[in-house]
Amino acid sequence: MRDPSAVLEGRGVVYFGNDWNAENRTSSHHIAIRLAQRMPVLYVDSPGMRAPTTSGRDLKRAWRKLTAALKPPVQVRDGLWHCTVPQLPFRRIPGVDAFNRVFSRWAVRRALSKAGITRYLSWFVVPHPGFLAHRLGEDFCVYYCIDDYAAHPGVDAELIGRRDDTLSRAADQLFVAPPALLPGKQAINPTTTYAPHGVDLDLFLTARSPETPVAEGARGLNGPVIGYIGSLHEWIDMELIAWLAQARPHWSFLLVGHAAADVSALRPLPNVRLAGPQPYATLPMWAKAFDAAIIPYRMNRQVANANPLKLREYLATGKPVVSTYNPEIAKFSQWVRIAEDREGFLAALDRALAEDSQVAAEARVAAVAAQTWDRRVDDVLATVAQALARR
């Protein structure tokens, strides 16, 4: 096969992703940044997936996003421009869907022109702007499906599911990160390729470095320290964390991330520290304080179809990991302790702390050492280039 860089030469990417300014760095961010090291990228925020109310607050928020769309794209780093192209979320009101289609197409093409990108691929990481696929003058359309978006709380599940299905069928190349979604996607698009998440290995390896300080907000905790990094959403089992903290009052539980759900069961507990959201680059400083890391999911449709980024990030720090079950995590059962219930979770933490060693830590790092985001992007670009070369 020809060199991917040669096949893709002269092309850029218009990339529809999650909120660029979100506290969490998602796979959407990681992939876009690395694409921009290889070709010009216009990163398009696409707000409007959540099923809204007709409240004044939602109307004002939609208006603010629309006015942001009139601003030119901003260059945020070499080869990468960012703009916002929102959709009015009131899709069941007559005329809104038609407005979204016309306005979005005009705004994206205007932003591409401002960024100087004239030949490009479209690349979707979220499904709701998928009606733009093959309508922007692109040479090729990629859908990199990283989640079961219709299962997210608060979204219009029927509409998002339909958009996801339509985009999956329309894509010239479909990548799927959650293994549980593979069979369904393969049945509707023969290009479907498994492309799991990667890891920022160099960053998270610094948690093992003697030169890396423990984050100030993680100091002074009684050990052992059980840590969690990530947003505290509805799919995180707050009651499980509270039960663990009460069962082991001499341990500390350090939770790093935005509290997007009710954490009232955790706030009164003296051995739980809610650190709030922290800059992505500082996360290894927080992880350095951990004696073990946890993934305390509630089992629901979203979790069953998830490919958790934090799994590989935890392993890259070398820390022991205890998790509830999901299909992707089960692939790492050689290095991760998987618990079926709260008593099993506590017992797994006891064993993880008692049996940890330098050899075990090195094995955990080795398990993800070849799964960097750079390698993942190289692999998917090679697949895209091969498909383009056949056209």
- Cα(first)–Cα(last) distance of the chain, in Å? 13
The answer to whether residue 108 scores a pLDDT higher than 70 is yes
Q: Mean of the per-residue pLDDT values for the chain?
A: 89
CA distance 189 to 112: 28
| DSSP line for 32-89 | HHHHHTTS-EEEEE----B-----HHHHHHHHHHHHHHTSPPEEEETTEEEEE----S
Cβ(192)–Cβ(174) under 8 Å? yes
Q: Where are the domains of the chain?
A: 4-198+372-389, 201-368
Helix, strand, coil percentages, rounded to 5, for the chain: 45, 20, 40
CA distance 137 to 132: 10
201-368: CATH architecture: 3-Layer(aba) Sandwich (3.40)
- Give the Å distances, CA to CA, from 60 to 64, 65, 94, 243: 6, 9, 19, 41
pLDDT-derived band at 328 (thresholds 50, 70, 90) equals confident
Which pLDDT tens digit goes with each residue over 44-82? 987 655 555 444 544 565 566 666 667 889 999 999 999
What's the whole-number mean pLDDT along residues 135-144?
96
Q: Which of 257, 208, 251, 207 is nearest to 349 (CA)?
A: 251
- Give the Å distances, CA to CA, from 300 to 49, 165, 237, 262, 297: 20, 20, 11, 18, 9
* Fold match, 4-198+372-389 / 201-368: yes
pLDDT for res 323 = 97
Residues 6+ positions from 251 with CB-CB distance below 8 Å: 222, 223, 224, 225, 226, 244, 245, 271
What's the whole-number mean pLDDT along residues 220-228?
95
CATH fold of 4-198+372-389: Rossmann fold (3.40.50)
- Give the Å distances, CA to CA, from 309 to 69, 146, 199, 230, 388: 30, 10, 7, 9, 29
pLDDT-derived band at 26 (thresholds 50, 70, 90) equals confident
Which pLDDT tens digit goes with each residue over 266-304? 999 999 999 999 999 999 999 999 999 999 999 888 777
- Give the Å distances, CA to CA, from 153 to 53, 145, 160, 233: 14, 18, 12, 9
pLDDT for res 214 = 97
Q: Amino acid identity of 391? A: R
pTM to 2 decimal places:
0.88
Which pLDDT tens digit goes with each residue over 162-214? 999 999 999 999 999 988 899 999 999 999 999 999 999 999 999 999 999 99
